[in-house]
Amino acid sequence: MSNEFESVQVGHGEDLMTLTRWVIAQQQHAPEATGDLTLLLTAIQFGCKFVASKVKQAGLINLLGLTGAANVQGEDVKKLDVLANDIFRNALIASGKACILVSEEDEKAMVIQDHGQRGKYIVTFDPLDGSSNIDCGVSIGTIFGIFKVEDTENPSMKDLIRSGRHLIAAGYCMYGSYCEMILSVGNGVNGFTLDPAIGEFIMTHPNIVMPPRGKIYSVNEGNYKYFNEASKKYVDQVKQKYSARYVGSMVSDIHRTLLYGGIFGYPADSKSKKGKLRILYEVFPMAYLIEQAGGKASTGTQNALDIIPEHIHDRSGIWLGSKEDVEELEACYKACA
């Protein structure tokens, strides 16, 4: 080599792993990868950065108003969840890599009609989860799951009515005291914190592995009176030994559970017969992440990723968390069967 060249290696000196760089590195490890998932994730990343910035301004610029209210320029002021939905939908369509979009905000699944813009991925998402916490400034989040469509020429309901075992990636972004993206593409779970000064997600939580048992249970005990015998038995039991935390934003409650261990539950009960949380864009992505981090996700009687939804907004009862904690819950269901 000429004297004027110096060989340089990655990781020499100051080196930050951005989310984009990490996704590209994953692609390089998969010889069959086309780069499509990288582009799709870039669109999701953009949506999360946009929402993170708007969540911060929400109280100031009247994003908390009702949909349809006008701002000083006479333009429509959209509620934050509607605005987030528009941003994610448009970014995903523009990526050219999506085929079907399922959003909590839209009654019907959207199929990208323009074949030139149509890719092979299905994205299911809750653009702004934790709606009841938006107006009081408590942490909220975006949840997403990614599937591959069987035949891009003929996308159908069959692509959506199938188990969570078909997920190829999932994640969430938490808009809290810091903004954190948690992502899995099927080989573990990594966390990236947004550095607002440079607008990049930087890896801060590599290879998240849940402790096999935690010390916190997280459930809305205001619903205790509606719980079935198994859920009551478990809650009675767990409160004897664990501390309770319940934000009421799934993303925040799961984020804490992922990092500290323990259990989060929103079971089906006599009021919400099928549970409250939606399978395609709340239960499945979270169950996938929890399993990828070594935890467990269960309805009480069935592994959550094995559920097959009946329709796109179908719901299920769900318990997620440290493996041993969820197994203890399942034992209560067995005992009460």
249 binds, among ligand AHM, Mg ion, none (CB under 5 to 8 A by kind): ligand AHM
Q: Strand, helix or coil at 265?
A: strand
Number of residues that make up the chain: 337
In this structure, what DSSP letter does residue 229 have? Answer: H
CB of 169 to ligand AHM, least distance (A): 21
**Distance of alpha carbon 56 from its chain centroid, rounded?**
20
Total residues binding Mg ion (CB under 5 A): 2
Question: Residues 126-145: x/- map of binding to Mg ion (CB under 5 A)?
Answer: x--x----------------
Q: Strand, helix or coil at 41?
A: helix
Residues binding ligand AHM (CB under 6 A):
104, 126, 129-132, 220, 248-250, 266, 276
Q: Dig out the tokens for 10 from the structure.
A: 């990655």
- Contact region with Mg ion (CB under 5 A), list: 120-128, 144-152, 179-187, 312-320: 120-128
Instruction: Please name the helix (run of DSSP H) or strand (run of DSSP E) that holds residue 94, with its range, or none.
Output: helix 80-95
Of 126 and 253, which has the nearer Cβ to Mg ion? 126
Does 291 engage in binding with Mg ion (CB under 5 A)?
no
163 within 8 A of 307, measured Cβ to Cβ: yes
CB of 278 to ligand AHM, least distance (A): 7
248 binds, among Mg ion, ligand AHM, none (CB under 5 to 8 A by kind): ligand AHM
- Contact region with Mg ion (CB under 5 A), list: 18-26, 70-78, 84-92, 123-131: 123-131
CB of 256 to ligand AHM, least distance (A): 12
CB of 250 to Mg ion, least distance (A): 7
Angle at the Cα of 217 (from 212 to 222), degrees rounded to 5? 160
Instruction: Please name the helix (run of DSSP H) or strand (run of DSSP E) that holds residue 42, with its range, or none.
Output: helix 36-57
Of 226 and 242, which has the nearer Cβ to ligand AHM? 226
Of 109 and 254, which has the nearer Cβ to ligand AHM? 254
Measured between alpha carbons, how far is 279 from 251 in angstroms, rounded to an integer? 15
270 within 8 A of 226, measured Cβ to Cβ: yes
* CB burial string 146-164: b at 16+ within 10 A, e below: bbbbeeeeebeeebbeeeb
284 within 8 A of 170, measured Cβ to Cβ: yes
Of 23 and 84, which has the nearer Cβ to ligand AHM? 84
Of 147 and 264, which has the nearer Cβ to ligand AHM? 264
CB of 286 to ligand AHM, least distance (A): 10
CB of 140 to Mg ion, least distance (A): 9
Q: Dig out the tokens for 83 from the structure.
A: 């605005």
The residues that touch Mg ion, with contacts defined as CB under 5 A, are 126, 129
